Structure 1
Amino acid sequence: MRAVQLSIVIVSYNVRYFLEQCLLSVERATEGMETETWVVDNNSADGSVELVRRRFPWVRVIANTANPGFSIANNQALRQSSGKYMLLLNPDTVVQEDTFRRCYAFSEAHPELGGLGVTMIDGSGRFLPESKRGLPTPWVAFTKAFGLARLFPRSRRFNHYHLGYLPADETHPIEVLAGAYMWLRAEALEKVGLLDEAFFMYGEDIDLSYRLLQGGYQNYYFPETSIIHYKGESTKRGSLNYVRVFYQAMIIFARKHFVGSQARLLVWMMQLAVYVRATLTVVSNLWQRLRFPLVDAVGIYLGLRLLKQFWSAYQFGDPTYFPETINYLHFPAYTLLWIGSIFLGGGYDRPYAYGRLLRSLVVGTLLLLAIYALLPEVLRPSRALLVLGAAWATAWTLGVRTVASLFSHGTVGAAHDRRLVIVGGTAETQRTLSLLQRAGAVRNYLGRIAPTDEAWQTGAHAGAGETIGSSARLETLVALYRVEELIFCSADLDNTAIQRWMSHLGPGVQYRILPEASGSIIGSHQRDRRGTLYTIDVNLRISDPTYRRGKWLFDRLGAVCVLLLSPVLVWFVDQPLGLLRNALRVLLARESWVGYHPDDPQRDVLPPLRTGVLWPGMGAESLATDTLHHLNLLYARDYGVGEDWRLIVRHLRQLGR
């Protein structure tokens, strides 16, 4: 006889903020049930283990000193679990308050059930098709790998992988469960075995689902409850690593479960898919990065050639006045310098920030005029043509971005501050606004929506001027105020209501959740991308490629200056040989002059930086870990080259440490 009704196993790896929210939802969902919860941490560096032990003492923790993979980590807890049912749950999920009770009741009523999956929605409220899946036979794998399933999402023939022809709001027997929420009968696991540890990540859920079917059990898709799955895998779906790991898992599955020509066909198909998808991924990523530079360069160059023809005929009455060499020498140089100026000025990092674009073009034009003035007369074809070219480059690049902006998000220019509404009580709303302010997140705050009609009426009588209505009229209020972002305060709301609103309102609104008693606001709006580990949607300057390039240049120029001035500087530092060593390490990109405080256990959740010779808070003693993290966060949020210079001047004697 099993000791408890349900054993919940969560494998965690550097997802502290999502894990906290997940466990809070599990705590609500297990009320009134006999359960045990395990967290297996695969050597996270973000303080996940400390968080769980401090805030969730009822959770059993297995803290690995390495990352053995998803299957091994789950099996570690499954072997020690005593539940009648086992649940493999991703840490980047949020379950409803009645999810476990509904799944338990359904499982008890269906003794043939081996495994069960539920409806999953992503962080934007969209239904996730992997909530129900079919077995990847050679034909099914072919349609998935080569995009036919996406072209014909409701076809029985072409989309058996996601069972797109089965209604998402009806219960169905299915073949494959999703590893993000995998409800399993313990006696079925005892019969067919645990997760196959040959799978490091991906594929283990398909393998176990298939073995359950082979063992005589039935798997079900159960839509009477749902979960949020932020899709926070450690490998992004748009990366080459994901392509390699996912299809390698499919190859392992094929070799294990298929024989003869069927196995060879599937393995060959997966190997071909790796190369095809990898090529498409590379091309797609390159196009995403280079589309604006390429279009700008082609347009500017062709425009210069047309301007040459026009200016020759208009000013000199001779279309062939300028030599042909200008097409192959001057115009490519002009184009490259303008494109390079836009790149260094950050115009391609934020293509719709017109201010950056114009500043970059002005700097590039001034630099071009300065170089032009220094050239010998024979290499100076026409100053007027250069000025006209600058005007054309400005008009062309602005026009390209205007058209692209209209097509991509229906507006012109950079995104404005999002129109924000907070759904929650007065106290939690104030806490949310405080967190947003501390993190430096800019929002156009419109007001608060009370969680109930009673709270709305009470708030109105209390003179809470920012209260704009109750959650009973949420859909109407979102449309009326043209809300672009909603933050739900889960201390005042249940997860069932939050998920219902997300599904109903859809991806037109960005959603965040403030977990109860948490300092983190969680959300993700990117489909098929991992949920980013942020406390809110903070604009950390150190993440901006422009600032990162500035830091890179500052480090290299600083290292060169230190080496050139070392005969003088050695008299001002405590360890002269260390100064030379550090300068060489910075020059070779092994260190940075300034990095994060090394004693902050949560520094890995911030954008990565190389180890610093110096760091914020240097010299202060006995600082709390929260203070160290806050110093690092402020450094990342407000970064500028001036901050690095200030720290170097202040701690000059320690540059040789």
Structure 2
Amino acid sequence: MRPCGSPSWGKRHNGPVTEPTRYGDGLAVVVVTYFPGDDLARFLDTLEKATTRDVRVVLADNSVEPVETLDRAAERENVRVLRIGENLGYGGGANRGVAELDDSYGWVVVANSDLEWEPGSLDVLLEAAQRWPRGGAFGPLIREPDGAVYPSARLLPSFGRGIGHAVFGKIWPANPWTRAYRQERAPEERTAGWLSGSCQLFRREAFDSVDGFDSRYFMYFEDVDLGDRLGRAGWQNVYVPSASVTHIGGKATSRAPKKMLAAHHQSAYRYLADRHRGPAWRPVLAAVKLGLAVRLKIETRGR
């Protein structure tokens, strides 16, 4: 088996593993934290009403210093704090958290700490999983604090959609490339190319079959990459809008906005470069790299 975090995007399979799963029916929630604030307590409070099942919570903490909110969270009976001791990024932290779970946990949520769960929403996701036996990942409808619906179930990026979205996304939000990519339409339960990493329920068998997140993505595109690899391995990414959460967003990234923008552009290039290899693609990737560098310079000017 390849080490966790190395790419598997090039491997194609006929379908999901068909032999009996070794995993139990237990439910766990892995929360990736980085200097979490009071949002963490709200996450845990609302989680209690999101499911009637017993839940094991692992706080995979990327903070490099003690955090008081984590100490308070650890006083809860079902919560364990995993102090990683270094910042592994979102995907790396999630992988470490999932690795702490034994095989009795067949269902794992990976989520940000700045979420609020709607009552019963996690149970709704679990019910949807029974309707989609090939479903490997399940994502809820995600609302922003003002009530707007965030487009959290999208097509996989392509050069055409990606360039159109990158060039026109901010100056012409309704452009056809952005609309196609973001898949903004009436909410319906359906498959998607990828789901927002801020909140996903994983079938543990599916998550482990592709070795989880690729930890080379420090921040951003780790969810896109995982959705693609799950699909290539024969699993489905399922959007379940009948379950909903609210994502406050931006707390961790606001600590270093320039670094986060740089990480976003680096991850975007990595995603494309991983999937377009060989001499014929080198000029195209060189142009993409230059374009991303120019875009980063423009977006960080004056920050």
Instruction: Give 1:202's aligned residue.
Output: 220
Distance 1:269 1:28 in 2: 46
1:28 to 46, 49, 53: 49
CA gap of 1:4–1:133, structure 2 versus 1, over 3 A, is: same
Deviation at 1:149, TM superposition (A): 7.2
Deviation at 1:41, TM superposition (A): 1.4
Aligned residues: CA RMSD: 2.3
Instruction: Give 2:59's aligned residue.
Output: 39
**TM-score w.r.t. structure 1 length?**
0.40
Q: Please tell me whether the aligned partners of residues 138 and 266 of structure 1 are also in contact (alpha carbons under 8 angstroms).
A: no
Distance 1:263 1:102 in 2: 45
Please state which structure has a larger fraction of its residues in helix. 1
Partner deviation per Cα, 1:534-591 (whole Å, 9 max, x = no partner)? xxxxxxxxxxxxxxxxxxxxxxxxxxxxxxxxxxxxxxxxxxxxxxxxxxxxxxxxxx
Query: What letter matches 1:276 in structure 2?
Result: R
Distance 1:186 1:264 in 2: 39
Query: What letter matches 1:49 in structure 2?
Result: L
Asked if residue 246 in structure 1 is aligned to residue 264 in structure 2, the reply is: yes
Instruction: Give 2:161's aligned residue.
Output: 140
Q: Please tell me whether the aligned partners of residues 117 and 177 of structure 1 are also in contact (alpha carbons under 8 angstroms).
A: yes
Count of paired positions: 278
Secondary structure of residue in 2 paired with 1:29: coil
Alignment of 1:184-583 (within 5 A): 184-236=202-254, 239-260=257-278, 261-262=280-281, 265-266=284-285, 268-282=287-301
Distance 2:283 2:251 in 1: 29
Alignment of 1:630-645 (within 5 A): none
Distance 1:84 1:67 in 2: 27
Query: What letter matches 2:96 in structure 1?
Result: Q
Give the share of equivalent positions with the same residue, in percent. Answer: 22
Distance 2:255 2:66 in 1: 23
Distance 2:54 2:286 in 1: 44
Secondary structure of residue in 2 paired with 1:216: coil
Asked if residue 179 in structure 1 is aligned to residue 201 in structure 2, the reply is: no
Distance 1:267 1:24 in 2: 48
Secondary structure of residue in 2 paired with 1:146: helix
Deviation at 1:238, TM superposition (A): 10
Structure 2: segments with no counterpart, 5+ residues: 1-21
CA gap of 1:183–1:271, structure 2 versus 1, over 3 A, is: farther
Q: Please tell me whether the aligned partners of residues 143 and 159 of structure 1 are also in contact (alpha carbons under 8 angstroms).
A: no
Distance 2:254 2:277 in 1: 32
Asked if residue 51 in structure 1 is aligned to residue 69 in structure 2, the reply is: no
Q: Please tell me whether the aligned partners of residues 142 and 246 of structure 2 are also in contact (alpha carbons under 8 angstroms).
A: yes
CA gap of 1:105–1:237, structure 2 versus 1, over 3 A, is: same
Distance 2:216 2:229 in 1: 15
Q: Please tell me whether the aligned partners of residues 170 and 223 of structure 1 are also in contact (alpha carbons under 8 angstroms).
A: yes
Distance 2:242 2:38 in 1: 27
Deviation at 1:145, TM superposition (A): 1.6
Partner deviation per Cα, 1:620-650 (whole Å, 9 max, x = no partner)? xxxxxxxxxxxxxxxxxxxxxxxxxxxxxxx
2:127 to 105, 108, 113: 105
Structure 1: segments with no counterpart, 5+ residues: 286-657
Deviation at 1:201, TM superposition (A): 1.3
Q: Please tell me whether the aligned partners of residues 138 and 262 of structure 1 are also in contact (alpha carbons under 8 angstroms).
A: no
Asked if residue 68 in structure 1 is aligned to residue 88 in structure 2, the reply is: yes
CA gap of 1:171–1:13, structure 2 versus 1, over 3 A, is: same
Instruction: Give 2:136's aligned residue.
Output: 114
Secondary structure of residue in 2 paired with 1:16: coil
Instruction: Give 2:13's aligned residue.
Output: none
CA gap of 1:183–1:268, structure 2 versus 1, over 3 A, is: farther
Distance 2:72 2:56 in 1: 18
Distance 1:188 1:49 in 2: 30
Q: Please tell me whether the aligned partners of residues 243 and 274 of structure 1 are also in contact (alpha carbons under 8 angstroms).
A: no
Distance 1:257 1:113 in 2: 23
Deviation at 1:110, TM superposition (A): 0.8
Distance 2:204 2:263 in 1: 29
Structure number with greater Rg is: 1
Of structures 1 and 2, the one with the larger relative CO (CA 8 A, separation 6+) is: 2
Greater shift in the superposed pair: 238-247 or 132-141: 238-247
Deviation at 1:270, TM superposition (A): 4.4
Query: What letter matches 2:291 in structure 1?
Result: L
Deviation at 1:68, TM superposition (A): 2.3
Partner deviation per Cα, 1:291-344 (whole Å, 9 max, x = no partner)? xxxxxxxxxxxxxxxxxxxxxxxxxxxxxxxxxxxxxxxxxxxxxxxxxxxxxx
Secondary structure of residue in 2 paired with 1:124: coil
Asked if residue 2 in structure 1 is aligned to residue 20 in structure 2, the reply is: no
Alignment of 1:146-157 (within 5 A): 146-148=167-169, 151-153=172-174, 155=176, 157=177
CA gap of 1:198–1:138, structure 2 versus 1, over 3 A, is: same
Distance 1:238 1:153 in 2: 29
CA gap of 1:233–1:272, structure 2 versus 1, over 3 A, is: farther
